[in-house]
Structure 1
Amino acid sequence: MGQMRPLASTQAIVEWDELPARAREIPANFDPLAEGVLMAHQVQAVELAHKVSILALPKGRRTGMTFAMALDSTITAASRKSAGGNNVFYIGDTKEKGLEFIGYCAKFARTIAESQAEGVSAIEQFLFEDQDEKGNTRQITAFRIRFASGFQITALSSRPANIRGLQGIVIIDEAAFHPDVQGVLDAATALLIWGGRIVVISSHNGRNNPFNQFCTDIQEGKYGEDAAVMTTTFDDAVGNGLYERSCWMSGEAATSEGKVRWYTRIRKGYGPRLTAMREELDAIPRDGNGVLLPGVWIEEAMREERPVLRLTLPDDFVQKTPNDRKAWMDEWIAVHVDPLLEQLNPQSRHVLGYDFARHRHFSTMVPMEIEQTMRRRVPFAIELHNVPTRQQQDLLWHINRRLPRWSGEAIDATGNGETIAEYTADEFGSHVHQIKLNRAWYGLWMPKLVQGFEDRQIDIPRDATLGDDLRAIENVEGVPQVVKETRDIKDPELHRHGDFAVAVCLAWFASLNLVVAFEWEAAPGKRDSDEDEDMPAGAFGGHW
């Protein structure tokens, strides 16, 4: 059998301020051993986890199951073997989830270890050398807390090939969103041979997802009497005090009126996406296959932080004269965009994807570099809200003329985007692909984008909002696409509709439909944009 062992030479200490916000924001006076610290459904889940070998916990979002299991894991690892102590392994769908879980445990350990007169080490980041049954090895980033009891809590950033080799308690979080859901579940149940226990926590990700089938098989008795399913909905958690806990954690006063507003805002936040709301809040899996891009694929594509420019203009900006609007936009471009364009690799071919919007959503421009290795790299992204169409055109054309070895772009020519797409095609010719976003186009090109993420051929800026947009790609009646939502633009939590996902898919399309690369050289005395505010610029302001 393969083995998994730590590489001590890579060990490093994780500082408290490096932990995710939710772990850091636990109040200083939080006592994990106080009576009533867990809500009723959390207590029930922890008790059930100690009674059965296999526990599946389908849940609504933010119901606190991971938090409860982190507390129980800390108590377990801090206890001596005679008191039920054991090692705990946590496997999330992203590295961020693992760090958040270990952050919770570190917070709890400060109190628990002290009360039991047991020491606890700092959070360590190290590498697991994972070896499968064929002898193939790879290194997995992991986080660990070691207790004086001799046990430890280890959070792995991805599923180890040899999960069967783990001995102790294994917690698999957001199982339905792992790249290989069935592989996770098969390997986890196999480790029962060594006397371990398994807790599988997840929101649903479609009726056909293996996690839903896993829960169904347990309920039908296919795993015997030593397995159980406990479902917790958002309403269950609300009834048990979720709103009041949320207010206490944030230092706000809980009121009955505030609770109604809070609950209504969360429900209304899904707009017309009722099946998504039922799945994510009521733990009712939808008929489709759900989200297509696992969080781990998105995280692997976000290799580093890069600029994401976001420009929102006031409503009265359109009251300025055309010349004043252009002058303002030219200055903004010179200050914010030109420095980014100057940093681009002049040897690489570049394309651009542009998802147009005028009022309710964000216009998103995504330049994409085609590296020598054929990997597609997004050096930066630009999001525009409430920006007049002509100023969007000024920016778009400016970028087109300065992208090194510019080899084309794809523009959303649906609805209001059709006008700017036509004008841009008039100016730049066959380098501009005017795309009608419809089911047929999504059905052909979204799977290619998803494949690009799976093959690790996409490199995008590390940004939480962009990641949320990519998670909006869903199977709708067999066609992968972004679900359009009707939301209040004044509420920043309620207005996005996967804008970046559409723009990066357009850029991906352009990168696979390259035209002859060329550079723009402005003719003497000509501006980048036509003087006439109402007419499209012709292809006479420069030469190729």
Structure 2
Amino acid sequence: MNLQQTAISQAVATSLADLQQFSADEVLLGYQKRWIADDSPLKIHQKSRRTGITWAEAADATLCAGAAKSEGGCNHFYVGSNKEMAREFIDAVAMWARAFDRAAGEIQEEVLQDDDKDILTFVVYFASGFKVQALSSNPSNLRGMQGNVTIDEAAFHDRLAEVLKAALALTMWGSKVRLISTHNGIDNLFNQLIQDSLAGRKRYSIHTTTLDDACADGLYRRICQITRKEWTQEAEDKWKADLLKDTATEEDALEEYYCVPKQGGGAYIPRGLIERAMRPDIPILRYEAPGDFTQWSQAQREAEMKAFCYEEIAPHLAELNPELNHVFGEDFARSGDLTVLSPGMIMKDTRIRTAFLVELRNLTYEQQRQVVFYIMDGLPRLIGASFDATGNGGYLAEQAALKYGTELVEQVQLSLNWYREWMPKFKAKFEDADIEIPKNDDVLTDLRKIQMNRGVPQIEKGSGKGADGKQRHGDAAVALCMMVRASYMEGAPIEFMALPNRRADSTDADDDNFNSYKGGAW
């Protein structure tokens, strides 16, 4: 059992002297346990105020310093932004040491030379030979040290870059670095590290705990237990509403309680980056079903879509490079909005280039399946496909998974967590000039529909209209993001059969091949 598992199991099993009113399994809340259990060498927690992450971190520090070297024990250094935070953390360490029955001395005060002045620090020594020590935010204090480092309220450190530089040097010998903070503006280094990590440019493990997240794991219930109040859902709702109402501005409330750095509004991907990625030679193929399409016979509907695939899609499939890996993204709609299909190719320099877009409006489920299978069968070296499986989209996604396998097809339930994980990676492709998309006003408008909402980039609510005056709702943006998601998949490339170029040039034999293409695409 590693130290993190030990922390959870012992905390669960321990009734603290000053928390006798709690049942044993409620000493740590869910988000606190998940934070401790994450053994990543680098991790960040963006959080609402007063959610107890620092208290949980003190438990982890105690277990680490209290363990023998053979058990992975080491020193732990805490860097807060003021003396009061330092004292509070060390007090929590002493409390956890008693709870875990770790042999430790009393809190000691030591003096460190900090530039030209003496700085009082707080430290707890353990029988293991290790210690937990609170240091000032002067980066030089970490020089020559070895052990894990916690930088608390990181967004509020005046010299965060220098402190982090000193702390990261300790990781060369296996130490770990943890950053904990509420937000302090969108341009703050703390937020930049989070966005870079979500985009895959840095390797920090990211944890997010909003006020709602914390309450879902029992924060307000814990407050009621401590203050000996009766918990009700109505009381919790009022408590949250009062916290938000008492904050000076809505923007402040979102930053303090919902992990939304200030000045985070507006379009998520800047227009300039979108336009830089646009290429006029990437086609958009469109089909809108007639109003009486559902009244046609099945044979008529199938023949209509065969003609569309053969005449519109086949020539572009025939131009694809069979030596490149290909991917597929899809955003589903049955009526009103569009189903958008986004096949893409992974270039030799790792850029993702959209092969073409297909926009389908008011098309039946079966004929959407017909078009999807035709495209996927014709993509050389297909390594991944990501489908919108939300709501009615589940049918088409399931059909694709049944035909091509779950290792090749991901069925995505669109959620805040999915947007939080994949939109930063999507945006990074534009920032790094690593994606090419069609040059089209509707595509631009769809991408500009990605907005920050309570710290999560997602498609803004409400439908808009395209250049043709018809409804669309960020459909191309989701499909393109799905295409990028598919590029991270590692499915084995599947073989394909090249399609004839034109229906008009086909012989009877060609038609026979077309109608039986890939053994059941129709």
How high is the TM-score relative to the length of structure 2? Answer: 0.45
Rg bigger for which structure? Answer: 2
Higher helix share: 2
> TM-score, normalised to structure 1's length?
0.43
